[in-house]
Chain A
């Protein structure tokens, strides 16, 4: 079962990487510009030189092979806008984005799963209703808008948190202070989605037979929920987390932009504005690879909980 999935992931990676090859060549405009970005001024001589260097006069399939060779050398191109190799740029920026996204995903999963399961277990109670109403409202707010509001209220007006960036002085505490609001926003973003799914999942599990039997064994409410239903209900949530990773990263990008933090988000923002295509492509690649990895990890987690995936031959 795992190997079948692994094949799927490799195939997906292969397809996406190939797709990445096609885009600059298929999009309107000169492939050279598409590959280098629009932010540079070149003489005619440089243009011909670069064209042959990039292999644009070669037949397509040879360009394709070239592309793969460069990929395996981790050569993702050069950004004239930043005067750096794209790969180095990405590495430098990804760290920060992960620092933001990592805690948010974990906190969001825990909070969403826990609160969602409680709300789904006793949906008629006023506490559950309130929680659901709050979750729905937060779910509807675009993440960067929420970021802007919190930034305005808590940083601008009240001065509780720094206004921008990942750090000012560079100490651990300083970085932590900078991270509080962005992580909060992103956590709310993921937690509300997880909440709704977990709530629904628990509601679906409740009428099942094994739940009655668990009660028949003498388990109290909390016991039935947390020894049994919670784990069975968490399976769709794990699937969601995997599928959603791309979406969460998207949210992280916007949060970074709102808080002017130097991660992938602002990198992409700048790249869009200066039409720095190599950076955009590299970023897309990086994110996609992370999503595939996340999916793979989620599959492993799923297999840990659901024996039918592990044991069935």
Chain B
């Protein structure tokens, strides 16, 4: 027995542009080895300016920047998707339980959420990353654990709404179990709030990863966009006026995030406020 369907999603041009861009990036991430002109660790003459053999020049180690850029797509996207995946999953579970069962469970979970919302994420991650000194796996995990709170809030309020509708009450009187109701009826109706939030979380996570790498908390053994900017800043790219070195990854981040944001905001048309809240 299906409940009321979510409003039909129109796909405006903006949404399609975002999707096209994102698809482009995903393709690059997957096909990096094939499209990149060189292996990103291969060394040539360092600090070269853009030229036919090296469209974006080379960095301080002599690596081809274009190849770095293309390979970096994979890492940056993975970090973003990983973080958002963990965060959304956690948020979904917490929000569902909280909104569905209400009462003491709700109070407890929401209290926890409130407290967690007040922990400043960036400083927290900086400290943990500094102590733990390891690579992206940890960062993804930590960020994911910190980022579930906005999603939980949104899921909970939607669940509360849907819960009240008559068809759910009908299901209960028919004796359907909690889990069954949650998955077959409530879940489909909150998906259209969840997916834009997911997109925006990926976007925020990518910016955060780039920022953390910039601080030097990323993994120097891995090519990511954030690390590229970090080294550009650290190894004299700024002073030597090698603007292409940091502009390329910066633009890449911006465009990728923009594509996610376009999808996120366009799809979140029905809940424009909820979609825009931090996270």
Contacts and interface: CB of A to CB of B under 8 A. Distances in A.
B238 A246 contact: no
Contact of A268 (B117, B126, B132): B126
A249 B275 CA distance: 22
Contacts of B238: 148, 152
B130 A140 contact: no
Contact of A197 (B122, B128, B276): B276
Given A27-B131, A142-B254, A243-B278, A200 B273 contact: yes
A107 interface: no
A20 B262 CA distance: 38
10 contacts: A8-B111, A16-B115, A16-B119, A23-B127, A29-B131, A243-B150, A250-B121, A250-B211, A288-B119, A292-B118
A78 to B, nearest CB: 18
B120 A250 contact: yes
B265 to A, nearest CB: 7
A203 interface: yes
Contacts of A145: 210, 229, 246, 250, 253-254
A28 interface: yes
A150 interface: no
Contacts of A271: 130
B23 interface: no
Interface string A91-116: 00000000000000000000000000
A137 B273 contact: no
B258 A140 contact: yes
Given A250-B121, A284-B127, A142 B217 contact: no
Summarize A's interface: helix, strand, loop or mixed: helix
B262 A136 contact: yes
Nearest to B275: A200
A248 B271 CA distance: 23
A200 B276 contact: yes
B214 interface: yes
Interface in A1-27: 8-9, 11-12, 15-16, 23-24, 27
A8 B111 CA distance: 8
B118 A27 contact: no
Contact of A291 (B120, B130, B277): B120
A277 B115 CA distance: 24
A291 B124 CA distance: 13
Contacts of B119: 16, 246, 288, 291
Contacts of B246: 145, 148
B115 A11 contact: yes
A67 B266 CA distance: 49
Contacts, number: 159
B120 A249 contact: yes
A35 to B, nearest CB: 11
Contact of B211 (A142, A196, A275): A142
B219 interface: no
A141 interface: yes
Interface size class of A (residues with CB under 8 A): 35 or more
Contacts of B207: 140, 142
A201 interface: yes
B175 interface: no
A279 to B, nearest CB: 10
Contacts of B118: 9, 12, 16, 246, 288, 291-292, 295
A142 B273 contact: no
Contact of B210 (A142, A200, A239): A142
B261 interface: yes
B170 interface: no
Interface string B239-278: 0010100110010011101100110010000011101111
Contact of A287 (B120, B250, B253): B120
Nearest to B237: A148
Contacts of B276: 193, 196-197, 200, 240
Given A148-B246, A197-B273, A288-B120, 15 more contacts: A136-B265, A139-B257, A139-B261, A140-B258, A141-B253, A141-B257, A142-B210, A148-B233, A152-B243, A243-B278, A246-B122, A246-B123, A249-B120, A250-B120, A291-B119
A283 interface: yes
